[in-house]
Amino acid sequence: MCGIIAYKGTRKAADILLDGLKRLEYRGYDSCGMAIISNNRIETKKDVGRIAEVDKKLNFLKMNGNIGVSHTRWSTTGSVTQINSHPHLSCDRKIAVVHNGVIENYTELKKELVKKGHKFTSETDTEVIAHLIEEDSSFERACLKTFKKIQGRNAFVAMNDKGEMVVAKNGSPLVIGIGSNEYFVASDAPAFIKHTRKIIFVEDGELISLGNAKDQEIRFIDTRYSKDLKKRIQEIEWNVEEAQKGKYPHFLIKEIMDQKKTIMAAATQDYDKIEKIADMINESFGSFLIACGTAGHAALASSYFFSKIANKHINHMVASEFQSHYHFLTDKSLVIAISQSGETADVLEAVKKAKTKSAKIVGIVNVPGSSLARQSNYAFMTNAGPEIAVCSTKAYTSQLSVALLLAYAAAGKMDEGVALLKQTANLVDNMLNQDLQNKTKQLAKKLADKDHIYVLGKGFNYPTSLETALKIKEVSYIHAEGFASGELKHGVIALIEKDTPCIVIVANDDTKQDVLTAALEVKSRGGYIIGISPENNEIFDYWLKVPDAGNASPIVNTIPSQLLAYYLSIERGCDPDYCRNLAKAVTVL
Ligand code: F6R
């Protein structure tokens, strides 16, 4: 996954592009670059490294001009080198391209182009776009032909030295910002919301021509039916502050602390719509909850909510495995897809497959206007605001909140669900205090040199154990594994040695005694027990106190681990916002 930002208007493009790149850095950060039209020629600067490093070396702001494209890369095709960084140019250097995605047929296309005499400089698939466009003297027509030729999930922005700019998308996200006499194009709206909140979402198969330098006309073309489109301008509600760190040193801690507000925001829904979906859930048959990663853990937790609160069985499946199971779907099935970004390729692919079986799609999604929000028959926004840190925190607890509300509504107890969530929002606001931060920081110091951390949970908090382990792995690179506490005796206990840290999540519910029994077995083999629980217990060597939130326990129980993961990453000198090898939204299959 990569980040694209392009600008065409009357202001200094480099200012806007550099700022936008920094806001998109979470999408990829192994190299970056910029191309700007200056004195009727395309000037390009690019290199390997984080944006601030590359900028220090190349000084992007020295480039003058009002039209440009830029890119922050997370390599898929071609290694991380200066040459492979975007933008890529045509042979005559009059066309510059930035791209997100994978061109599946690029080797064939490259062979044909080489035969025709095109000289390639990089190992990337992207470069074929620039050379294909060079094949036709009409820029817009050339982009259209190129778009039709390339296969796979792709989005690109191309410009020529005359200032014509074309945007095309199939699979990877792109959004256009409309300013006064200016256009912005980006992979994600926070890249430019500082300048405009008027946006148009680009749909798959669309190509947008931003005209030549003088002509500021914007034209939308549906490439599948070769016809012009009229598109609706929408106003995005997110504000600039929400997409900034503010007083915090990292986005991760800022977003953990945001949970003081986001549970309440998630609880604020159109309750009539919730009731309607609850009826659909109750009438549905052979339904699935699907998602990936952290959202996948929210989907698993939701299956427990529906089972225990609403007495309704809904299958849980990670989206990438759905293709082996979707044949069970019928027009009576409901697919509840959960995604922060709404752009995860595995989720969108699963939704596409479900639609072929006429199943209805309910999306639980954070990014307004994202592909999942648009492709769902019914979409619930989690209202967590922009989540920038690569690892997901506040979006997770918001996903749990919306799912909990749906489960209560399906049980015919909507008011009870709303009351529980509002009470949980207050509990979270109170628990995110200095005391909990100090205790998790102190624990992080103790655990920072460990090679393994294990996590046990049961029932509602089995998914919490998986999520706890994932958070620790992602930001501190310590190996961590979550297990259902009952599985301990079936193998996991072999891993326990003296001082092996084991986090046990002990909720005040019918799973309490089983988890404590498992903790005791670990302790008797010398394990170091960290209890996350409303009450202390003599088994615990270290206790992280959480409030008793009843059926909302997975929401409160996950928060200490988010803090622990954050402080572990600081202790170990990692960057908590940019996890090694990871990108925020995975838009490739
Ligand atoms: C983990 C994390 C990922 C995402 C997963 C799905 O912290 O962020 O595991 O949860 O890639 O992403 P979305 O929710 O955007 O579909």
Pairing relation of β-strands 183-186 and 3-8? antiparallel
Give the number of residues written for the chain. Answer: 589
Residue 9 Cα distances to 65, 66, 185, 201, 571, angstroms: 9, 6, 12, 19, 45
**Closest C-alpha to ligand 1, atom 5:** 293
* Amino acid (1-letter code) at residue 302: S
What separation in Å is there between the alpha carbon of 45 and the centre of ligand 1? Answer: 32
pLDDT-derived band at 229 (thresholds 50, 70, 90) equals confident
CA distances from residue 581 to 30, 386, 501 in whole angstroms, order as listed = 9, 21, 26
Q: Residue 474 Cα, ligand 1 centroid: separation in angstroms? A: 11
Check whether 526 has a pLDDT greater than 70: yes
| CA 161/CA 242 separation, integer angstroms | 36
Q: What is the mean pLDDT of residues 296-310?
A: 98
Active site residue 584: yes
Atom 10 of ligand 1, nearest CA residue: 294
The SS3 call for residue 74 is coil
The rounded Å distance from CA 339 to ligand 1 centre is 7
**Ligand 1 test: best mutation among 252, 317, 322, 341, most atoms within 8 Å of CB?**
341
pLDDT bucket at 213, cuts 50 / 70 / 90? very low
Residue among 554, 357, 577, 359 nearest 467 (CA):
554
Q: What is the position in ligand 1's atom list of the atom closest to the CA of 395? A: 14
Tell me: pLDDT of 241 over 80.
no
Specify whether the backbone of 434 is left (phi greater than 0), alpha (psi in -120 to 50) or beta: alpha
pLDDT of amino acid 215: 55
- Could you tell me which of 50, 138, 137, 46 has the C-alpha nearest to residue 97? 46
The minimum-distance atom of ligand 1 relative to the CA of 372 is: 16
Cα of 374 to ligand 1 centre, how many Å? 19
User: What are the distances in angstroms from CA 435 to CA 431, 438, 441, 529?
Assistant: 8, 5, 10, 20
The catalytically annotated residue of 2, 292, 391, 502 is: 2
Nearest residue (by CA) to ligand 1, atom 3, is 293
Query: Topology of domain 3-241, per CATH?
Result: Glutamine Phosphoribosylpyrophosphate, subunit 1, domain 1 (3.60.20)
- Cβ < 6 Å from ligand 1: which residues? 292-295, 339-341, 344, 347, 391-392, 470, 474, 585-586
Cis peptide before 560 (omega within 30 of 0): no
Instruction: Give mean pLDDT, residues 179-200.
Output: 92
Tell me: pLDDT of 240 over 80: no
Atom from ligand 1 closest to the CA of residue 584: 8
| Closest protein CA for atom 16 of ligand 1 | 339
For 68, half-sphere exposure in the C-beta direction (CA atoms, 13 angstrom radius) is 31
| pLDDT score of 282 | 93
* CATH 3.40.50.10490 residue ranges for the chain: 251-430, 433-576
Q: Which tokens hold the place of 347?
A: 């989720």
Q: What does the pLDDT read at residue 259?
A: 97
Select from 3.40.50.10490, 3.30.450.20, 3.40.50.2000, 3.10.450.50 the CATH code of 251-430: 3.40.50.10490
- Decide if 2 is catalytic: yes
Q: Which of 75-79, 374-378, 381-385 has the lowest mean pLDDT?
A: 75-79
pLDDT at 60 over 50: yes
pLDDT attached to residue 578:
83
Q: How far is CA 339 from the centre of its chain?
A: 7
289 CA → ligand 1 middle, Å = 15
Where does 433-576 sit in CATH, by number? 3.40.50.10490
Whole-number percent of the chain with pLDDT over 90 = 82
Residue 341 CB: number of other CB atoms within 10 A? 24
pLDDT of 470 above 70: yes
When the pLDDT of each residue in the chain is averaged and rounded to a whole number, the result is 94
Task: Exactly one of 22, 94, 394, 584 is catalytic; name it.
Answer: 584
Q: How far apart are CA 48 and CA 28, in angstroms?
A: 12
Closest Cα to atom 11, ligand 1: which residue?
A: 293
Residue range 536-540: average pLDDT? 97
Distance CA(562)–CA(468), nearest Å, equals 7
pLDDT tens track for 260-271: 999 999 999 899
Predicted confidence band of residue 212 (pLDDT cuts 50, 70, 90): low
Ligand 1 atom having least distance to the Cα of 585:
15
Whole-number Å distance, alpha carbon 291 to ligand 1 midpoint, is 8
In the predicted structure, residue 216 carries a pLDDT above the cut 60: no
Q: Which amino acid is at 541?
A: D
Q: Report pLDDT digits (tens) over 350-365.
A: 999 999 999 999 999 9
User: Which of these ranges, 67-76, 434-443, 447-456, has the smallest mean pLDDT?
Assistant: 67-76
Nearest-angstrom CA–CA distance, 461 and 554: 6
Q: Provide the pLDDT for residue 589.
A: 72
pLDDT band at 302 (very low <50, low <70, confident <90, very high): very high
Where in the chain do CATH 3.60.20.10 domains reside?
3-241
Expressed in angstroms and rounded, the spacing between residue 454 Cα and the centre of ligand 1 is 21
